[in-house]
Amino acid sequence: MIRKNTDYPLQPPRERGTGRAFAFALVMHALLGFFLYHGIQWQNSTPEGAEAELWTEVPDTAIPRVVPPPAPAVPAPPVADEQAEIALQEKKHKQQEAARQAQLAEQQRQEKLQAQQEAEAKRQQQLAEQAAQLAAQKAAAAKQKQQQQQAEKLKQQQLAEQQKQQQLKEQQQEQQKQAEAEAQKKADAQKAAKAKAQAAQAEAAAQAKKVDAERRARLAQMQGMAGPPGSTGNGLGKSGTGSGSGGNAASPGYADKVRRVVRPNISWGGETEGLETVIAVRCSPTGTLLSATIAHSSGNSAWDDAALRAVQRSDPMPQDIDGKTPASFRITLRPAG
């Protein structure tokens, strides 16, 4: 806000050329006084008489000489009038001096007023510039504050988004952990079930082995009571391709089951006349082949090996009508003729 100057009231602006007009007026007044002074001095001076001689040719005739009249004497002005004129000139000079002093004082006052006005205008301009600078600084500060607020808001949004992403990631990780835990739990359950099944199977196998061992012990005891292996057992198959006889506990139809299993596994392309091989077999109750040996050779080692391979390829052996395979029995094999 511009402060009003109460010491010097506002005045209309000064016209240009005032100082030069004033100086020109002073010069004109000084010239006028100079001319007036010298004019009065010229009028107060007594003119001097002029003398002149004229020479000319004079004729022989006598011409009367003309004597010039004397110059009229100019009466001297009275002393009182001269003093009055001097006093008037002095009064005019004093008035001119007073006017000059007044004009000079007015000029000084105008110059001082102009200097004050210029100083005031300069001060007002400085105040306006300061106000403009302050406003610019305030605007810059407000803009900077707004930018900081926007940056802070953007930072808060980014932080919130990061927190949201982090929460989502943690949820996903938690879900993944739960899924892994469930999968691990399921795998552990399956593993436990498998281990339990394996334990049950191992226990069943151990029990079967135990039963098999007991059966083999009984069979061995019965075989010991029946006589040597070469003695006649339950009978040998009479078919041309081979036959099998069950053990002591085999049912009458078990030999046909063994024949149907072993016959497709025989691979022989040699002679067939007079070849007969007896294979002694030991099996578990589930039909697993424990051992197969040649109990009676045919005299042809190639056929014996082919018959033994046919029995080994027939593992497991079929089960009897009671759901179990006899512990030991013999198979008589002949090539197809």
The CATH number of whichever domain residue 273 belongs to comes to 3.30.1150.10
Q: Assign 145 a pLDDT band (cuts: 50, 70, 90).
A: very high
Residue 178, Cβ neighbours under 10 Å: how many?
10
Mean pLDDT, rounded, of the chain = 76
271-297 mean pLDDT: 89
200-212 mean pLDDT: 63
DSSP class of residue 253 equals T
Residue 280 lies in a domain: yes
Residue 208 lies in a domain: no
pLDDT at 286 over 80: yes
pLDDT at 46 over 70: no
Residue 131 lies in a domain: no
Task: Indicate the residue type of 189.
Answer: A
- Angstrom distance (rounded) from CA 337 to CA 335: 6
Q: Please state the domain count of the chain.
A: 1
126-143 mean pLDDT: 92
DSSP class of residue 324 equals S
Could you tell me the residue range of the domain that residue 313 belongs to? 236-333
Structure tokens given for 3? 């402060």
